[in-house]
Chain A
Amino acid sequence: MSDLVLRVRTPPQFRLDLSPLTPERLAGQSADAVARVLLACGRRRVPVGEWFDVRGSAGGSILIEGDCARMDRIGAGMQDGQIRIEGDAGAYLGLGMQGGRIEVSGSVDAYAACGLSAGLVRIGGDAGDYLGAALPGEHRGMRGGVVIVAGRLGDRAGDHMRRGLILAEGSCGDYCASRMQGGTIATLGACGARPGFAMRRGTLLFAGPAPSPGPTFNDGGELPFGFLVLLARSWKELPSRFAALTRTSIRVRRWVGDLAFGGQGELIHWPA
């Protein structure tokens, strides 16, 4: 897979929308043609070449080098191929992504993997608030795919999440899995306040420290759950610390809720 390489010449002072730069949209284009693609920057539309040095040819893979912290919507709507970012990325990374793979070596801003339906997003640093959530005003968050975060999650990760998997190797912020309707979030780190607030279905799994569920979660005690084996086995091929997770027992402590919202979601503590 050949690489199209975009090196950030000077980080923009304002937000820059990189959503046109997906592998399938640029397929077959030369570096010169890519440099002429227009990007939204506030009220202006500026060519890629104004911000990036472009080299290589557009195949199935794009490499973005440099500080992209003010560059939003990277890989939005992406269906196939791969985007690698050597550095930080802005907000809405992988918004509505339907396939392919995005890897960020640094941290990302809010709303990453928002509305993700398939594919893999891997974040080497921290993730901002609302990872895998729904856009404001929408009711369908992440509904498929896998998100791996090596660092910590911001607040309200998985808000309105319906399906898919979020693996947080670090800690979670407040209101993790709020309004969750399905899917799985697992963390190796500590959890912030009110995990699973208003969740109706889905699984929030703590493979590290025990959570402190709110009063609207009922403690079901310790029981064995066979599906955990299926879950852990599915992680074996993933580029994550979860792949090496070893648990000899499937006997876990489980809380059900959020009962204030008629929820049947579950918080599970699966310690080593």
Chain B
Amino acid sequence: MPGKAAVIVNGVSIDDTFAEAFAMRATRVIITADTAAWARQAAVTMTGFATSVIGCGCEAGIERELGPGETPDGRLGVAVLLFTTSSSELAKQLERRVGQCVLTSPTSAVFAGIVNGKPLPLGKTLRYFGDGYQISKVIGTRRYWRVPVMDGEFIAEDTTAMSDGIGGGNFLILASGASRALAAAEAAIAAMRQVGGAIMPFPGGIARSGSKIGSKYKTLIASTNHPFCPTLRAGVDSELGPEIECVYEIVIDGLTEEAVRDSMQAGLRAVCAIGAAGGVRRLSAGNYGGKLGKFHFPLRALLP
């Protein structure tokens, strides 16, 4: 809800509210390949169906692309972040996704993206695909596995490391039309992708089906965020005025509180730069009254 003293930035009303985020478990892996396209392909495949822990087991996304000077083997690469609610689920998701999506991808190799922390098996479990023909190589202080595959050898570092993470940073873009809301959301995502240590796990970084906790159906733990659905505004206690026709949500997971904050700030600023002239009317955020999540990100503190 808008606060008593309205805050308007470039014609965009900023709600007096905050995003509520939760502690998660996270890791980073680096995927390389002979070309940037194949590194990206492996990363996209690995991070597919990873929009929400509710239904996918983890939230994952591409953090950024890496140049030859930033990868262990000097090839082009991609940094991928994975977030889950538990350590055991993180290990399971990592093994399954790297095994099915990176090991299988032409010319790929996978390396630890985080060195310090509790080790998470990477090549340590994937090596068994080598059926006894795999080769261990300790180089410096790190162990690598050379797993024979049909295009040569799949190189996988033995372990990566687990890190604390934060999931559920978010904000809502309320605009006068669907195309304008989408353009603003795309601009936000473009700006947020410049911030390291964070990902936006939904398709293209943007969610149209923002959810609330619970449902009238007992089997569902989440359902549509009806106060923000424009087609329902005549029939429910709506959050939307007549000038709002479309709402998009951007969800952020980060390795640190600063990464989530910086990412949100970059996105909010990009949206405000478009402003009312571009059809953006309001910015809001989702929370649970501050009772469930440890991390709070007040929108007004992040702007201008």
Report A's interface with B, CB cutoff 8 A: 144, 163-164, 182-184, 201, 203, 223-227, 229-231, 233-234, 264, 266
Contacts and interface: CB of A to CB of B under 8 A. Distances in A.
Interface string B133-149: 10111111000101000
Given A226-B152, A227-B146, A264-B133, A234 B73 contact: no
Label chain A's interface by main secondary structure: strand
B139 A231 contact: yes
Given A225-B153, A226-B152, A230-B155, A182 B136 contact: yes
A223 B150 CA distance: 12
B152 A223 contact: yes
A231 B152 CA distance: 17
Interface in B106-158: 109, 133, 135-140, 144, 146, 152-153, 155
A227 B144 CA distance: 8
Given A233-B72, A234-B140, A226 B155 contact: yes
Interface residues of B, number: 16
Contacts of A233: 72-74
Contact of A227 (B74, B133, B155): B155
A107 to B, nearest CB: 27
A226 B140 CA distance: 16
B138 A229 contact: no
A229 B73 contact: yes
B147 to A, nearest CB: 11
Contact of A230 (B73, B133, B152): B73
User: Top 7 A-B pairs ranked by shortest CB distance?
Assistant: A234-B140, A234-B139, A229-B73, A230-B139, A226-B155, A163-B138, A227-B146
Contacts of B72: 230, 233
Give the most central of A144, A226, A233, A234: most B CB within 10 Å. A226
A231 B157 CA distance: 13
A14 B153 CA distance: 53
A203 B73 contact: no
Contacts of B133: 264
Contact of B109 (A223, A224, A226, A264): A226
A34 B153 CA distance: 54
A230 B72 CA distance: 7
13 contacts: A144-B138, A164-B138, A183-B138, A225-B146, A226-B73, A226-B109, A227-B137, A230-B137, A231-B137, A233-B72, A233-B74, A234-B140, A264-B135
Nearest to A201: B135
B29 to A, nearest CB: 16
B34 to A, nearest CB: 9
Give the most central of A164, A227, A230: most B CB within 10 Å. A230
A163 B137 CA distance: 8
A183 B153 CA distance: 18
A230 B138 contact: no
A231 B137 CA distance: 9
Given A184-B137, A230-B73, A224 B155 contact: no
Contacts of A225: 146, 152-153
Contacts of A234: 139-140
A164 B141 CA distance: 10
Given A182-B136, A227-B155, 6 more contacts: A164-B138, A225-B146, A226-B155, A229-B73, A230-B137, A234-B139
A238 B137 CA distance: 18
Interface string B17-59: 0000000000000000000000000000000000000000000
Nearest to A182: B136
A258 to B, nearest CB: 15
Nearest to B155: A226
Contact of B153 (A163, A182, A227): A227
Nearest to A265: B135
Contact of B74 (A163, A201, A203, A229): A229
Contacts of B153: 225-227
Interface in B148-198: 152-153, 155
